Structure 1
């Protein structure tokens, strides 16, 4: 216990890295998800005025809604693009340098947002949202990798939770700044949409004072001296030769491992349940209603709570309880909207943040992690795009009963996790695969032999039947 406390006190630079990388990292994603709600009426008015002034055409309500939905959802197209190019770029140019350059994408988008009203161009908002998407998709990967690689091994679990915390903080900030007393007004809404540029400037001015990822310096650049110097700056002035040797051993072990493509993962019979788990959980992540209601403060509080309990509670337990809490909340939310009573905000405060972002890394062995991450990102951003396009239309037709659709996704995914997904805490990918086999083997004989192994392209794995 004392050693853990001492380690926390000896890592002030890691604490600085958490805040600096977070404010220009996943904060941007959370802010972009929530910020469009407040100025929606003003943006729709701009769309109508632009078409009337430019083409002398007054748009019908459904046409304005369609343009509005696409303006919101184009963020997801940029996000998917950013997340797909992040891996190769941060490997080639480094985590810190890519985070710095990524800020310029957000700044350009912010300039377009601020000038859109003056220029009478809603297209500038669309382009800005697309650039924000690239920035957010890229930062989701770069922020996470940089932060985890800069943290001591004993603190990586808790430090990893801060990635989700900054997403929640971004959502809360977007909702708070969007109130009419601050930036959610007819005159100031362009500055609300351009706020991402200020956070990008903040990271751009502070991140250069932090070191590059030690792992990148050693394994990609081959500079052991720079790696040890970065470790001393981050973790304190001690000897880290053991940690350096562990990194080198890991690199040597992975040199013989070939990364498999997405199609190879899809065709692999032994990983069908793991792949299905990625599809189910990441689809439900966006279609559970968590991005359809204003939950920033609740998510922020819950992510802080999970920061304290994640090391003592299994991820499967947190995930299942999250879906149960979301289901109960959606039922209460539907009832409050139907009867128009005053307990609406109480219902929202029960929403629980779901922890599934680490699944692509935990469910697959090293050779399949890249392909698993690509599939997870694609499903995640596609789900958010579909939600952005369809939710306004669903609300028009179903009103408060639209949340029953999210309820079905929550209940279905909660039951799937409860009966089809093993606990992943403190287990390797091979151990998790063995648990999948035990849960889904069709014969009693295979249940009695859970440790039967097979070799996949030189990689040891456990067989699972689907």
Structure 2
């Protein structure tokens, strides 16, 4: 809300510093708020809806993109007079969220496992789900609490160095980096060049951009209905594989774009295909991973790592992509194709499915990989004994 006020009054004050500070505060809020929001959803969701509810964050990110693209066109707020108001629009959802969150309870898993507040947890569950039969979820939380009894909250260093979460960490880091390194931002960048080659008038470009944003939103919405049926592993693994294949085809078509007048239109279709595949798999599913892969004591630090990897990857792509395009042209996509194929192979062949499993069941699946050749390990033994209790 402070950032929105800074944007709103920056032109009156003739201060570009206010814009920079407002942008910094917006970025701070997104970086912190997204991780905390995802953690709250993961700790408040019933097992059968955990994937769907966590994915709603991706849906509203997509909705935010489309909304920004729509109100940013010159017929609405994309004008010389309206730009301070356009930059301040983000303050409106911030006000709504600030007012509504006052009425929300604390996350049930946090209350039950971290605070030991059984009654507070039951009240929170009843308020959130409007259900009376909570035995199954409470039993699941009780098992998780017993498994982590006596454990303190883990630090980022613990997550990075502990053998018992090694494969969970890899399963988290590779897809989170893949959100940026799969080439989706490069595709958005290149899309306008392809539109121009196809003869799209300059004034109509923004409408095609809205179409791309709407395609991503629709695909992510479809993903939310598929995630608890198809599973995370299939959606991400085969999503990355199809993205790699489609971008390989796009690279080949860009290389021969001058041979025929219809080829640029094929390239436009391929762009929409990649966006659709991205929304159906990698974009949405990666948001649900920390809630699925880590127990309560590890989860906050896992979200820190997830957010850091995501934003650092975005920074690297933003800083380096211009030089890559200058050097490689349309062949820049081959770098992203390689990462997509690598991510697909990792997800399909090395990562167990988490669909419909409790936190402890997921942990046991990963323990089989973490300690495959480890013999007797103290850390593993402690966890296994606690799980059996």
Fold match (TM-score > 0.5) = yes
Cα-to-partner distance string for 1:229-263 (whole Å, 9 max, x where unaligned): 44443333736577567656654553312344333
- C-alpha spacing 1:171/1:219, structure 2 compared with 1 (3 Å): same
Contact 1:363 1:433 in 2 (8 A): no
CA distance in 1, matches of 2:167, 2:116: 38
1:200 to 77, 82, 94: 94
Which runs of structure 2 are paired with 1:128-143 in the superposition (5 Å)? 128-143=22-37
Given the superposition, is the C-alpha separation of residues 162 and 203 from structure 1 closer, same or farther in structure 2, using an over 3 Å criterion?
same
Residues 335-377 of structure 1 deviation map (CA, whole Å, 9 limit, x = unaligned): 5555271234322222323122333444455554444333322
Whole-Å separation in 1 of the counterparts to 2:102 and 2:164:
45
Give deviations 1:154-194, integer Å, cap 9, x for gaps: 32232122122112222222222222322233332332222
- CA distance 1:457–1:317, shift in 2 (3 Å): closer
SS at match of 1:180: coil
1:307 aligned partner: 224
> Which of 455, 458, 461 pairs up with 2:378?
455
Over 3 Å counting, the alpha-carbon distance change for 1:453 and 1:161 in structure 2 is: farther
Q: Summarize the Cα distance change of 1:225–1:416 in structure 2 as closer, same or farther, 3 Å threshold.
A: closer
Are residues 1:433 and 2:367 paired? yes
SS of residue paired to 2:228 = coil
> How far off its partner does 1:384 sit?
1.2
The answer to whether 1:234 aligns with 2:124 is: no
Shift of 1:323: 0.7
1:281 paired residue number: 175
Distance in 2 separating the partners of 1:368 and 1:237: 28
Does the 8 Å CA contact 2:352/2:365 hold for their aligned counterparts? Answer: no
Task: Please state how far the C-alpha of 1:319 moved relative to its aligned partner.
Answer: 0.9
Hey, what's the Cα distance between the residues in 2 that align with 1:407 and 1:384? 17
Structure 1: tracts of 5 or more residues without a match: 1-106, 447-451
Aligned equivalents of 1:320, 1:328: Cα separation in 2:
13
Cα distance, 1:177–1:404 mapped onto 2, change above 3 Å: farther
Q: Secondary structure at the match of 1:459?
A: helix
Residues 1:436 and 1:214: Cα distance change in structure 2 (over 3 Å):
closer
Q: 1:190 to 1:346 in 2, by over 3 A?
A: farther
Asked whether the equivalents of residues 115 and 190 of structure 1 are also in contact (C-alpha less than 8 Å), the reply is: yes
Q: Which residue number in structure 1 is paired with residue 196 of structure 2?
A: none
Decide whether the 8 Å contact of 1:165 with 1:304 is kept in 2.
yes
Instruction: Verify the 8 A CA contact 1:211 1:230 in the aligned structure 2.
Output: yes
Unaligned runs of 5+ in 2: 189-208, 259-263
Q: Which residue of 2 aligns with 1:391?
A: 321
Displacement of 1:461 in angstroms is 6.2
> In structure 2, what is the Cα distance between the partners aligned to 1:381 and 1:301?
24
**Alignment partner of 1:394: what SS?**
helix
Partner SS, residue 342 of structure 1 = helix
Rounded to whole Å, the distance in 1 between the matches of 2:64 and 2:89 is 11
Is 1:109 the counterpart of 2:32? The answer is no
- Number of corresponding residues: 345
> What is the root-mean-square deviation of aligned Cα atoms in Å?
3.4
Give per-residue Cα distances to partners, 1:115-143, cap 9 Å, x unaligned. 33444443333222211111112221232
Q: Which of the residues 161, 164, 169 maps onto 2:55?
A: 161
The 3 A distance-change label for structure 1 pair 136 and 417 is same
1:394 Cα deviation from its structure 2 partner: 3.5
After TM superposition, the score normalised by the length of structure 1 is: 0.63
| TM superposition shift of 1:434 | 0.8
CA-CA distance at 1:416 after TM superposition: 2.8
**In 1, distance between residues paired with 2:367 and 2:336?**
30
Note if contact 1:258-1:367 (Cα within 8 Å) is conserved in structure 2. yes
Distance (Å, rounded) in 1 between the aligned partners of 2:129 and 2:55: 19
